[in-house]
């Protein structure tokens, strides 16, 4: 099966199709992680996006259900340099071809992913269509240009859980945490549970009143897809919780905290996606971190008298973390739970525990 990617700019990449024989449409981004393609595919923060992986070969260690970060893949499509038909790993339960085919995800391989990444870096993220190579490129380009932009889209409501649930915790859990699901990853829940938390997961629209009625020791604000600014309901609820209970947010949760503190957000040219971003924290130490975000908080929009800026990306200076000077509240833009990625930032879950203990 021959497949093509047609971008809104008119650039066309033709290659071999794998996975499901279906078309896909979405915003095209690139991820620089060397491993973890299954975790990337099932990260709800990628809803509405086609992901290009920069690692040279994908699929060579197969797939296992244990590595899913959600109940299903959320990417619209996958683009790789080489798609391996062979899976060599004792944990593998099925090949990646079977995995993506059964889940309805098309895969484009055998293209120059370096050229695609350079195009996205120069021109910014592009809306695109994955379709059979026989399709008319100009027609597909027009369709790509008609795809709704990520700006202004509240995708958190589309990926959140329909009803509350309790994540299994270790016996003798010390703290009760209510976790807002804006697109939460399972490894976040595992990390909270491993640190001694009983985690009650609630839908994105749950009111502050209903959360406080559970008498939590802390509230966690999860990652998620889309633009944070349309999520005014979440900002309202965060303001209703601030100062009343310790709060820890990551990714979209960080952006929503920024908005709740009176700040502003903006869209990055091509986003941060990958497991190798250097971040300097407040101590001056450098963490190698996992990222997946398209928007960021404008540090100049926050009041220095109220908010301490704690983390900065060393690649482009993006604000990556903040802490309130008086209230028990902090957040980071990146993913301390990794999956995939380095474990340099696991300490943040410990910091959340200390905040709740105080």
Cβ pair 10, 96 in contact under 8 A: no
| pLDDT tens digits, 172-192 | 889 999 999 999 999 999 999
Rounded to whole angstroms, the Cα distance separating 191 from 177 reads 12
Catalytic member of 251, 287, 293, 324: 251
Mean pLDDT of 326-355: 97
Band of the pLDDT at 239, cuts 50, 70, 90? very high
On the question of pLDDT at 171 being above 90, the answer is no
Band of the pLDDT at 26, cuts 50, 70, 90? very high
Mean pLDDT of 227-238: 98
pLDDT at 351: 97
Domain ranges of the chain: 2-145, 156-357
Rounded to whole angstroms, the Cα distance separating 128 from 24 reads 8
Selecting from 3.30.70.260, 3.40.50.720, 3.10.450.750, 3.40.50.880, what CATH number does the domain 156-357 have?
A: 3.40.50.880
Catalytic member of 8, 69, 198, 337: 337
Average pLDDT, the chain: 97
On the question of pLDDT at 314 being above 90, the answer is yes
On the question of pLDDT at 258 being above 90, the answer is yes
Selecting from 3.50.30.20, 3.40.30.10, 3.40.640.10, 1.10.3720.10, what CATH number does the domain 2-145 have?
A: 3.50.30.20
Cβ pair 78, 105 in contact under 8 A: yes
212 or 169, higher pLDDT: 212
| pLDDT tens digits, 73-102 | 999 999 999 999 899 999 999 999 999 999
The question of whether 69 is a catalytic residue gets the answer: no
Buried b (16+ CB within 10 A) or exposed e, 144-175: beebeebeebbbbbbbbbeeeeebebeeeeeb
The question of whether 335 is a catalytic residue gets the answer: yes
């Amino acid at each position: 099966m021959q497949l093509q990617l047609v971008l809104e700019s008119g650039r066309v990449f033709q290659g071999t199709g794998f996975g499901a024989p279906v078309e896909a449409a979405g915003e095209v981004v690139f991820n620089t992680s060397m491993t973890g393609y299954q975790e990337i595919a099932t990260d709800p923060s990628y809803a509405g996006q086609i992901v290009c992986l920069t690692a040279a070969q994908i699929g060579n260690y197969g797939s296992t259900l244990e590595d899913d970060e959600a109940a299903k893949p959320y990417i619209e499509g996958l683009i790789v340099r080489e798609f391996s038909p062979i899976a060599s790993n004792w944990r593998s339960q099925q090949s990646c071809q079977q995995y993506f085919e059964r889940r309805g995800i098309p895969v484009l391989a055998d293209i120059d992913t370096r050229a695609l990444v350079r195009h996205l870096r120069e021109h910014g993220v592009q809306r695109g269509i994955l379709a059979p190579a026989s399709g008319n490129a100009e027609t597909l380009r027009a369709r790509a240009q008609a795809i709704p932009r990520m700006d202004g889209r509240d995708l958190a409501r589309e990926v959140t859980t329909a009803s509350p649930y309790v994540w299994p915790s270790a016996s003798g859990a010390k703290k009760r945490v209510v976790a807002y699901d804006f697109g939460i990853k399972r490894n976040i829940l595992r990390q909270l549970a491993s640190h001694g938390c009983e985690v009650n997961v609630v839908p994105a629209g749950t009111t502050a009143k209903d959360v406080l009625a559970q008498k939590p020791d802390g509230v966690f604000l999860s990652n998620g897809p889309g633009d944070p600014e349309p999520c005014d309901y979440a900002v309202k609820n965060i303001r209703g919780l601030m100062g009343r209970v310790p709060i820890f947010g990551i990714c979209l949760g960080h952006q929503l905290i920024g908005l709740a503190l009176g700040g502003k957000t903006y869209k990055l040219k091509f986003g941060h996606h990958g497991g190798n971003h250097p971040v300097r924290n407040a101590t001056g130490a450098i963490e190698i971190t996992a990222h997946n975000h398209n928007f960021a908080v404008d540090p100049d929009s926050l009041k220095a008298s109220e908010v301490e800026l704690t983390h900065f990306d060393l690649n482009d200076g993006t604000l990556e973390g903040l802490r309130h000077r008086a209230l028990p509240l902090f957040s980071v833009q990146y993913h301390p739970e990794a999956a995939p990625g380095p474990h340099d930032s696991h300490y943040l879950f410990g910091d959340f525990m200390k905040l709740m203990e105080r």
